[in-house]
Structure 1
Amino acid sequence: MTYDPVGRLRMIPTDQEAPERVARLRQLGLGGQPDPEFDAFASELARITGAPYAMVNFIDEHRQFFAGLHTPSGGMTGSDAAAAASEPGRVMDRDHGYCPHVVVRRKALVLEDVCDYPRFAGNPVVDEIGIRSYLGAPLIDRTGMALGTICVVDVEPRPWGRPGLETIKSMAAELVDRIHRREDELA
Structure 2
Amino acid sequence: MGQLPPELHADVARVGRLSSVPDVLTILTRLTGMRFAAVARVTDARWVTCQVQDTLAFGLQPGDELPLATTFCDGVRLRNQAVSFGHASQHPVYRDHPSPKLYGFESYVSVPIRLDDGSVFGTLCALDPEPRVMDAPLVEKIELLAQLLGAQIQAELRAEQSALESRQARSELGRVGASARLREEFIGILGHDLRNPLQSMHAVVDMLSIDQLSQRQGGAIRSLQRSLRRMEELIDFASDFARGIERDWLQLDYGNGSDLLDALSQVVDETRAAYPNQVLSAHVAIDEPVHGDAIRLAQMFGSLMINAVVQGQQSSLIKAIAVTEQGRLRIEVCNLDGIEPRRLDVLHASTHVHTAGRALPEVDLGLHMAAQIAQAHQGELRITSGKDGTCFHVELACQRPRARMQLVDNRSTLA
SS in 2 for 1:95: helix
Give the Cα separation in 2 of the matches to 1:32 and 1:132: 31
TM-score (norm 2): 0.33
Q: How far off its partner does 1:40 sit?
A: 4.9
Pair 1:123 & 2:106 matched = no
Deviations 1:31-86 (A, max 9, x none): 4787264455323422333210111011123321110111115x78347xxxxxxx
**Number of residue-to-residue matches in the alignment:** 153
Q: Say if 2:47 and 2:66, in contact at 8 Å, map to a contact too.
A: yes
C-alpha change, 1:34 and 1:143, in structure 2 (3 Å) is: closer
Q: Does 1:35 align with 2:32?
A: no
CA RMSD of aligned residues (A): 3.1
CA contact (8 A) 2:33 2:132 kept: no
Partner of 1:102: 76
1:170 is aligned to 2:144: yes
- 1:1-187 paired onto structure 2 within 5 Å: 26=7, 29-31=10-12, 35=16, 37=18, 38-73=21-56, 77-78=59-60, 90-115=64-89, 116-118=91-93, 121-124=96-99, 126-186=100-160, 187=162
Q: Could you list the runs of 5+ residues in structure 1 that have no partner in the other structure?
A: 1-22, 80-88
Structure 2 portions without partners, runs of 5+ = 163-415
The one-letter amino acid of 2:31's match is I
SS where residue 183 of structure 1 aligns?
Answer: helix
Deviation at 1:117, TM superposition (A): 3.7
**1:114–1:97 Cα change, 3 Å:** farther
Distance 2:97 2:58 in 1: 26
Instruction: Look up the match of 2:181.
Output: none
Match of residue 309 from structure 2: none
More helix per residue: 2
- With over 3 angstroms needed to count, the CA separation of the structure-2 counterparts of 1:182 and 1:32, relative to structure 1, is closer
Q: Percent identity?
A: 20
The one of the two structures with greater contact order (alpha-carbon pairs below 8 A, sep at least 6) is: 1
Structure 2 counterpart of 1:12: none
Q: Given residue 77 of structure 1, which amino acid in structure 2 is its aligned partner?
A: G
* Matched residue type, 1:185: A
Q: Deviations over 1:73-113 (max 9, x none)?
A: 5x78347xxxxxxxxx9311011121111111101122122
What is the TM-score when the length of structure 1 is the normalising length? 0.68
CA contact (8 A) 1:135 1:153 kept: yes
| Contact 2:35/2:54, CA 8 A, preserved across alignment | yes
> Which one has a bigger Cα radius of gyration?
2
Counterpart-to-counterpart distance in 2, 1:63 and 1:27? 9
